[in-house]
Chains A and B, each alone.
Chain A
Amino acid sequence: MKLPVNLVNNYLKNKLSTDGIVVALERTEVEVEEIISSIELDKKIVTAKVLKVLPHPNADKLRIAELVIGKDKFTVVCGAPNLKENMIVAYAQPGSVLPDGNKIKVASLRGQKSQGMLCSAKELGINDDHSGLLELDPSLPLGISLCDIENTGDIIDIKTPANRWDMLSVLGLAREIAANSPGNDIRYPKSEVVEYSDSELVKNAEIGECSRFISVKLSVKHNSKSPAWLVDNLLASGMRSINPIVDITNFVMIETGQPSHAYDYSKLEGSPRVRFAKSNEIITTLDKEARNLTKHDLVIADKKGPVAIAGVMGGLKTEVDEDTKEILIEVANFNKTTVRRSALRHGIRTESSGRFEKGLPLPLQDFAMQRLLYLFKDICGASIIQVPNDQLYAWPWVQHLGLRVRRADKFIGVKLDEKQLIDGLRSRGFDAEHFSLAKESAKHLGKPYLLGASYKTHKTDAFDCSYLTEYLYSLIGVSIGHTAKQQFDSGNGVEIADIKPGDLIFLERDFEDQKLKKERDGIRHVGMYVGNKGVLEASYDAGKVVITGLKAFEKSGTVRGIRRYVSSFNHIISVTCPWWRTDVRIEQDLYEEAAKILGYDKLPATLPQLPPMNNNDNTLVNKIDDLRNTLVGKGLFEIMTYSFISKKQLAENDLRLAEHLSVINPLSIEQEYLRSNILPSHLKILSNNRDYWENNYGFFELSRVYRKDTTKLNGKHEAWHLAVSLVGDGSVTALKNVLDLISEKYDWKIKVINSESSNFVKGRYAEIYVANINIGSFGQIKPSKLKLDRISSEVSILEIEITEKLITEADKILKPVPLYQFIDRDFTIEVDTAVYWQDIIEALENSSAVKIMFISEFTDVDLAVAAKKRISFRVWFDCGPQPEQKQIDVSASLVVTCLKKSKTIVNFKVC
C-alpha cells in the first residue's frame, strides 16, 4: 500500500517528518518497503495567469498563451487541451530545470517564439497526470515559486500484515503512528452525523453473506471535476481521478478502509437486491469485461439482473458519469470468503476485494457512511433524497479481555510496569483499567433485577443472577457461560472453608416447572462472593442487585456448590478492545501489545532453563551429516539438486511415470515430477559441467526422494537416498571403493549381485544387498545416456536408500587386542570366469580365516579361451602365541575344503 506522508499527517495532531513516520511504523507490524521521495522543484517554476489564448498560425494542435505575472507579460506555445483564459498555471521560465532534467530555454516552435513552458502534473513530478496542464488554485498570488506551495510530499510504500484490515487505511495507520510517537494523537476528519430510517432502499436476501447494508439516496449538484486535494491524494495513493462521486468513494476507502459503491440511480431498474447470482447470468463490470457469473457469486441485482459483484467490482450499466444526478450509495459488510472467492474466480483482485477479504468490523460501515455524507455534501453539493437506511443483521459485539500482568511478565520475560502498560493500551485506543472486584461490584449495586436481561437487550442497566456473574467475568475476558447451570459446570470446585473473592456460590431452590428443574439440575440461583462475608447477587426477592451476608445467602436455599474460574484477581487489567482491532481476540494478543509497548529493544536476552534433550547424538540428521563428512573426506564434492524433475528426464532414464508424484501447478515443464531417484539429476549436472577442467572427479548428494505408494499413509513413500557419481577412467571400480568404505564404516555385510539395467553398461552393473534387503545399485552408465563430449569420460553412479538403522554404527566396545601375530598364507586358485570374489568370501565364512585379502586377478589368452581366471588372495589364521606347523596346515587345508564344498565355485583348482 502507498502511504502519502502529507495525507497521513492530516490525521495526526502533531505532524511528523517522513523519518518520524518511518520510525513509528517500524515499531509496528508494518514493513516499510520503499520511500519514494518528493521532488524539490526549481525556484524558476512559478505561478502565472493565462491572460489570453491565441491560435497558432502554423499548427492546429498548438496554441499561444499570453501570460501575466504582475506587470510582466510572456508568450508561451502550448499543446495542452485544457489551456484556457484566466487559469493559473505552473510556468517554467527560461533557465529552469524540470525534475526529469530537461532545461527550459527560449525556443521557436513552428515559427512562434516561446518563452518557456507550461507544465502538467506529470512534468512536475507531482503525479502521473499528463492529460493537461496542472490547474492551480485561482486564489494563489502570481509569480511565486511552485516549490513553496506545491509539496507533493514523500510516499511510503508499505507491506501490511494479513490480520490487520485497519492497516489498509490511512486512518488506521495514523492511529498506529500516533501511538508510537510520543505525545501524538489522532485527529479524525470531519463527518456528518447520520440518522437512519427503517425504510429499506435495498432488499437483502442473503443475511448470512451480508451482515450490514447501509444505503442512502442522494441528489448531486456538481459532478464534473474533483478538487485538486482529492485528485492529488488519490494519485499519491496510486489511484486515478474519475469523477467526484467515484473519487469520494475511493478516497473514503483509502481513508477509512471501507469500500463503498455509488450507483447511478436513474440507471437502476427497480429496487436492488443482495442475492446470489444465477448460474447463467452475465455482468459487464466497470472494466468493460463481460463476466459469466456462477451461483457462488454474491451480487447486487436490479429487476434486470446483476449490477455489481458484491465487494469486487461494480457493473458498467449503473456506472456514474458527469450527467449523473441521483445516486444510491452502498456501504456494506460482505462475507470475506465469498468476496475473496469471487475475486479469484473472475481474476479481479481489486482494492475493494482486498479489503473485504481481511474481514471488516460492523461499526466501520456507519463510520464510513458519516464521512461519505460529509464529503458528498461538501464536494458535490449533495442533498438527501431518501434518509439513510441501516440494515444490521449481526451483533457488533465488543471484545473484553483480561490481561494477567504477572503471567504476561513470565510470558515476555521481564517485569512489566502496569502503569506504562495501561497508558500504552489507552494510547492504542483500548479501554484499560485495573480490575477491582469491589469497585466493579459497587458500580452495579441497586440496579434492577430483571429475569432474562442480557447485554444486547439491557446493556448494564438491569441484571438477572447469572447475567450479573457472566458480565463481571466477561470484563476480564473469561467466558463462564450464560445460565447458572452452565456456570456451575464450567468452574473448578472449591470448599466453603476456602472461599475467596470472585468465587461463585450456587443455590438449589424449588422449581414449579419439573422439566425446567431437570434441565437446570435444580440450580436456581447464583451469587458472587466478594469478601468480607458478603455475596453480590441480582436478587429476585430484593428486586435489585444487592450484597447479602454469606450466612443469609446460604440460608436462602440449599448450597449446591462453589466454583472458581481464575486463580487470582490480583494484577488483572480489564481491557476492552476498540472496534477496529479485530485482530485482538485472546490474551496472547495483549501480550503482543505489551511487548510492543515495552519495545522489543528492551527485551532481555536469556536462555531457556530446560534440561538438554537426551538423544542428541542419536538422530537421523546427525547420522546423515556424519556420512556426508565421511564422503567429503573421501575427496568428493557434495552437491544439492532440485527435487522436481521433468517428464523428459524420467523417460530418458527409463523411470516409470505412473510411480511418480506429479506437481499440479509446476513452475515449468522442467519441474513437473517429484523424483524417485537422484540419478537423473546427476546426469543433468554432468552435462551442465562438461567443460569442467578435471578428468577424474566425483560428487555425491544426500536427499529425500518420493514415490507413490498406496499402501502408505497419504499414498506416498519418502526416503533418504545417497547418490555418488564418479567421472573418469576406472570409475566403476573406484565407485566400488567408495561403497566398500561406507560398508566398513557401518559394518554392512554387503552382497553385490551383477544385474542388468537399461541405464548401465552390460556386465558393469550390480545390485547391493545388506541382510538380504536390496538397498540400491551401482554401475557404469551407458554412453548413450551421457551428454558428454568426451567418450573417454566414463561415469559410474551408485544410489542407495538410507535408513536410520542402516547408518547406525554399532556401539564400540573394545575387544581384547591380540598380543601376538596371526599367521598368513597366500593362495592362488583357478576358477570359472563366472565365479565372483564374493563367492570365495562366502565359501570361507566357515573356515578358520580371521581375515581375507584380495591380491590379484589374472587372465591370459589360454585361460580366456577356457573361460577361466586365476585369483590370488591372502588368508590370516589365529594359531595362538606359539603356532605349530601342523595347526597351520590344518587351517590352510580347511580353506581348500571350504572352497570345494561351495556350490558356486565348481571346477576350481589350486595353483
Chain B
Amino acid sequence: MMIEDIFSDSFLAKAKADFNNVKSKPDLDKTKSMYLGSDSGVMKGFSSIPKLSADHRAEYGKNLNSLKSKLEVYYKAARESLDKGTDLPGLDLSLPGLSERSFAHGHKHPTSQVLSQTYDVFRGLGFSIVDSDEIETDWYNFEALNMPKDHPAREMQDTFYVNNGKSNLVPRTHTSGTQIRFMENNKPPFKIIVPGRVFRNEDEDATHIWSFYQIEGLVVGEGISMSDLKGTLLTVVQSLLGPEVDIRFRASYFPYTEPSVELDCKYKGKWLELGGAGMIHPQVLINGGIDPEKYTGFAFGWGAERIANIKYGLTDLRELWRPRFVFLEQF
C-alpha cells in the first residue's frame, strides 16, 4: 500500500468495510494489523514524519492522527459487534441441561491412565494414596531431606522459585517433601503413595519435560527391609508393565535415602531407567519425628510419564502436556 493512498476516501471506505466484515477473533487481529499494525500505511506514515521538511510536518501529522483515530473507532466497533455476536438471547441457565449430542467415547489422558493403574496396584497392596501441596517451602523440599543450602545435590534438580510477596517458595522439584509432612502427622506403621505434579527448571525436548507427574512411595514400620523395597517394586512394575518384566537395582546416591539405588526394568529385552529408591535416611526419619532405632522404612519415586512412555511407545513427551486431540483420540 502506497503511503499517499491512505488519505483517499476509498481507503477509508475499504477499511470500514473490512472491519465490518470481521467474523472471528483471528479475522479481527488480521484486519487490525493490516490497518493499525507496525507495517500499516498509517504507522509507516508516522515513521516518515522526521524525514519531511519542517513546514509539512505539522499538517501531515495532524491528518495522520485524525485518520488513525477513525480507524480505531472502526476497530472498536468491530470488536464490540464480535462480542455481541448475532445478539445471542440470554438463557435460563438453571434449566436442566439438554444435550443433543450423540454419545461419544471419552478419552482418559494417558498419564492419568497410568496413574489410575498405579493407584489400583498400590491399593491392592494396602497402600493409602495421599494428596499434597505442589508449592512447597524450602524446608520440606530440600532441608528436611538432608539438602541444606549450598548442598551440591540440589543441583540434581533445577529449581524454580516463586514469590508470594514475602518469602520464596519452591514449586516442588519432587514429591519427597510429602514424606516429612506425612511422618509429622502420622504414626508408623504406614504405607502410602503420593502422586502429583513436580516442576524442574530445565529446557524441554522430546524426552524431558519441565513439569511432570511423580509417584512417591513411603513405607515405615518395624523391621522394614531393603528386600521389602525390592519385592514391592517388583510387584508394582510387573503389575503395570507385565509379569515378564524384570527389575534391577543399581547403587546410587540421594541425600534422603541410605542406601540409595536406581531402579531399572527390563522391558522387551532392554534395560530402562525407571526411577530412584532407597531406605529412608535416619536423619529424615528424625526430621519427621520418627525414632530410627525403632523404625526403618523405604521410599521410592518415578515419573508417571516415563511409564506412559514405555507402555504406549510415545515418541515425544511434550504431546502429553500440549494436548492435540488427534493425539488423545488414540487413548
Contacts and interface: CB of A to CB of B under 8 A. Distances in A.
B119 A688 contact: no
Nearest to B197: A643
Interface stretch (A386-394, A500-508, A662-670): A662-670
Contacts of A292: none
Contacts of B251: 27-29, 592, 596, 600
A162 B203 contact: no
A621 B134 contact: no
B164 A714 contact: yes
Contact of A610 (B29, B134, B191, B226): B191
Interface string A23-39: 00011110100000000
Contact of B108 (A629, A685, A697, A714): A629
B227 A791 contact: no
Nearest to A764: B91
Contact of B126 (A29, A610, A631, A732): A610
Given A588-B282, A600-B250, A710 B323 contact: no
Interface in A328-365: 336-337, 340-341, 357-358
B104 interface: yes
B24 A412 contact: no
A697 B325 contact: yes
Interface string A848-892: 000000100100000000000000000000000000000000000
Interface stretch (A218-226, A260-268, A601-609): A601-609
B226 A716 contact: no
Interface in B131-188: 131, 133-135, 137, 150-153, 155-156, 160-169, 171
Contacts of B97: 733-740
B75 to A, nearest CB: 12
A663 B325 CA distance: 29
Q: Which of A412, A644, A694, A736 has the most CB of B within 10 A?
A: A736
A639 B109 CA distance: 6
Interface string A159-184: 00111100000000000000000000
Interface in A412-453: 412-414
B282 A610 contact: no
Interface stretch (A130-138, A282-290, A611-619, A812-820): A611-619
B259 A613 contact: no
B123 interface: yes
Nearest to A357: B152
Interface in A651-709: 661-667, 671, 674, 685, 688-689, 692-694, 696-697, 699, 703-704, 706, 708
Nearest to B324: A689
Interface string A563-585: 00000000000000000000000
A605 B230 contact: yes
Contact of B279 (A591, A633, A639, A854): A591
A586 B150 CA distance: 22
B164 A715 contact: yes
B211 A643 contact: yes
A732 B91 contact: yes
A608 B232 contact: yes
Contacts of B248: 600-601
Contacts of B296: 410-411
B320 A621 contact: no
A625 B88 contact: no
B204 to A, nearest CB: 8
Contacts of B306: none
B23 interface: yes
Contacts of B192: 613
A608 B224 contact: yes
B62 interface: no
B95 A162 contact: no
A836 B94 contact: yes
Contacts of A550: none
Contacts of A164: 253
Contact of B106 (A611, A637, A662): A637
A832 to B, nearest CB: 12
Given A358-B152, A666-B160, A595 B328 contact: no
Q: How large is the interface on A (under 10, 10 to 19, 20 to 34, 35 or more residues)?
A: 35 or more
Given A635-B105, A733-B95, A608 B253 contact: no
B223 interface: yes
A641 interface: yes
A642 B199 CA distance: 10
B107 A637 contact: yes
Interface stretch (B6-14, B64-72, B110-118): B110-118
B93 interface: yes
Contacts of A807: none
A730 interface: yes
A902 interface: no
Contact of B152 (A162, A606, A639): A162
B289 interface: no
Contacts of A317: none
A54 interface: no
A35 to B, nearest CB: 16
B90 A611 contact: no
B243 to A, nearest CB: 13
Contact of B164 (A336, A615, A696, A708): A708
B232 A762 contact: no
B19 to A, nearest CB: 13
B127 interface: yes
B328 A637 contact: yes
Nearest to B147: A162
Contacts of A839: 94
B228 A608 contact: yes
B281 A640 contact: no
A31 B250 CA distance: 9
Contacts of B83: 761, 782-784
A586 B282 contact: yes
A27 B251 CA distance: 7
B99 interface: yes
A513 interface: no
A747 interface: no
A199 interface: no
A24 B132 CA distance: 41
A694 B325 contact: yes
Nearest to A621: B129
B121 interface: no
Kindly name the residue among B103, B189, B235 whose own CB sees the greatest number of chain A CB atoms within 10 A: B189
Contacts of B156: 162
A508 to B, nearest CB: 31
A663 B170 CA distance: 9
A43 interface: no
Contact of A413 (B105, B150, B226): B226
Nearest to A734: B99
A643 B115 CA distance: 18
17 contacts: A29-B260, A162-B155, A357-B152, A592-B251, A611-B126, A615-B128, A631-B106, A640-B323, A643-B171, A643-B197, A663-B161, A665-B161, A671-B210, A761-B83, A784-B25, A789-B26, A837-B92
Given A632-B108, A664-B168, 6 more contacts: A411-B296, A414-B227, A586-B258, A605-B227, A641-B322, A763-B91
Interface of A: 26-29, 31, 161-164, 336-337, 340-341, 357-358, 410-414, 586, 588-589, 591-592, 595-596, 600-601, 603-613, 615-617, 619-622, 624-625, 628-629, 631-644, 661-667, 671, 674, 685, 688-689, 692-694, 696-697, 699, 703-704, 706, 708, 710, 714-716, 718, 728, 730, 732-740, 751-752, 754, 761-766, 778-780, 782-791, 836-839, 841, 854, 857
Interface of B: 23-29, 79, 82-83, 85, 88-101, 103-109, 111-112, 115-116, 119, 123, 125-131, 133-135, 137, 150-153, 155-156, 160-169, 171, 189-192, 195, 197, 199, 201-203, 210-211, 219, 221, 223-228, 230-232, 234-235, 248-253, 255, 258-262, 279, 281-282, 296, 320-326, 328-329
Across the A-B interface, the 9 shortest Cβ-Cβ residue pairs: A763-B90, A413-B227, A612-B126, A737-B97, A736-B97, A413-B225, A635-B104, A161-B253, A592-B259
